[in-house]
Amino acid sequence: MTDYTTQVYPVIWHNDSVSLIDQTRLPNEYAIVEIHRSEDMAQAIKTMIVRGAPAIGVAAAYGMYLGAREIETSDRHEFLESLEKVAQLLRSTRPTAVNLFWAIGRMLKTAYETLGTVEEIKQTLFETAQTINLEDLQTCQAIGDNGLAVLPRTPQKLTLLTHCNAGALATAGYGTALGVVRSAWREGRLARLFADETRPRLQGAKLTTWECVQEAIPVTLITDNMAAHCMKQGLIHAVVVGADRIAANGDTANKIGTYSVAIAAKAHNIPFFVAAPLSTVDFELSDGSQIPIEERNPEEIYRVGDTNLTPLGVDFYNPAFDVTPAELITAIITEHGAFAPSELAKCQSQLVM
Ligand SMILES: CSC[C@@H](O)[C@@H](O)C(=O)COP(=O)(O)O
């Protein structure tokens, strides 16, 4: 595997606590928030200080450890009961990204399977959180390399389009969709990235462009409603997006607006790739209709800074994700290779639970 380095690590263990890059403040301010308690981690996930499916999985894993270390008992049964409550608190933060539930489940399983004293269980939980973080970084690098193998061969230098931010900030580092973009850039296969601004929270405008600027990757920002036009103009060779939850048949939940990008790509015969770790696949769901879709505060739609955009009396609907049907997806790029959506089930046995 190529050993790339990246400068952006949104979740790290440092000074006996978790340091998060505050993603609500970028790009204007680079600020670190120190998290010492599981409750504060839950709040950070809810308020999107940390966001992006794999990153909230890593954050929740550390949240489980922070919660474990707050539990004051040496009785194993009492400890596990309290740890279940920590898990419940962290699970209640955001409903769509399955990595959150996967990481919490893996931490709980570790606790139940560790024989020994409560102190030993706590130590094993810490080590597991560190492992989940490191594994995600390696996984993203593998996704980047595997993506290179399936990108169109021509032209030699591609212009790619992405939606939202599936970058280093949304993972342990390096990124999934942006991991593919980074790998393409480093191998001389990228001419330019087009980034959708991604209303309403503007992760494309604020975060994806920020990451590109850090590494001098050429990036062009467009508003969401410009994507189809750019495709028609012949400006886009392929689309690469991340995912929050992929059902067993390949239907993929990702940031709201992804579905319309996929429809536009199909209409223009442009390959549409989903890049995600296996921990984003929910093999328990047969199709995308079963994926829970988070609805967020309408303020995200009607307010920009301190300014209201609408008159009083307007109703709002603010789903944070949509589901792209498998038939619109050319391939799903994972750490184990790229697969047609219908082939995804082959990988199930490789998912570490
Ligand atoms: C590698 S991140 C993949 C997805 O989590 C990403 O595309 C996305 O939709 C993020 O949504 P967000 O609401 O910002 O957490």
Segment 237-255, tens digit of pLDDT: 999 999 999 999 999 999 9
Annotated binding-site residue? 153: no
Distance 252 CA to ligand 1 centre (A): 12
Secondary structure of residue 144 in the 3-state scheme: helix
User: Facing residues of 222 across strands?
Assistant: 196
Find the residues whose C-beta lies inside 6 A of ligand 1: 51-54, 97, 164, 166, 170-171, 176, 203, 242-244, 254-255, 320
Residue 107 is predicted with a pLDDT of: 98
What is the rounded average pLDDT of the residues 99-115?
A: 98
Residue 6 is predicted with a pLDDT of: 59
Secondary structure of residue 294 in the 3-state scheme: coil
Annotated binding-site residue? 255: yes
Q: Is the pLDDT of residue 98 over 60?
A: yes
Q: Is the pLDDT of residue 337 over 60?
A: yes
Q: Which atom of ligand 1 is nearest to the CA of 176?
A: 1
Instruction: Extract the tokens encoding 250.
Output: 């390949």
Among 134, 173, 322, residue whose Cα is nearest residue 241: 322
What is the rounded average pLDDT of the residues 335-350?
A: 91
Active site residues: 244
Annotated binding-site residue? 51: yes
**Pure H helices in 12-157:** 38-46, 53-70, 76-91, 98-113, 118-150
CATH superfamily label, 11-139: translation initiation factor eif-2b, domain 1 (1.20.120.420)
> Rounded mean pLDDT of the chain?
96
pTM summary value:
0.96
Cβ-proximal residues to 236 (8 Å cutoff; 6+ apart), any chain: 159, 160, 161, 194, 227, 230, 265, 268, 270
Where would I find the beta strands (DSSP E) of 214-352?
219-222, 238-241, 245-247, 252-255, 272-275, 281-282, 303-304, 307-308, 321-324, 331-334, 337-339
Note the pLDDT tens digit of each residue in 166-212: 999 999 999 999 999 999 999 999 999 999 999 999 999 999 999 99
Residue 7 is predicted with a pLDDT of: 80
Distance 77 CA to ligand 1 centre (A): 36
Task: Kindly state the percentage of the chain with pLDDT values over 70.
Answer: 98
Handedness of CA 262, 150, 183, 188 (dihedral sign): negative
Q: Is the pLDDT of residue 236 over 80?
A: yes
> For residue 216, how many C-alpha atoms fall within 13 Å in the half-sphere facing its CB?
1
Q: CATH fold of 152-350, please?
A: Rossmann fold (3.40.50)
Rounded to the nearest 5°, which phi and psi values hold at 261?
-65, -40
Note the pLDDT tens digit of each residue in 76-95: 999 999 999 999 999 999 99
Among 143, 149, 178, residue whose Cα is nearest residue 164: 178
Which of the four pLDDT bands, split at 50, 70 and 90, describes residue 5? low
Is residue 159 within 8 A of residue 237, CB to CB? The reply is yes
Domain locations in the chain?
11-139, 152-350
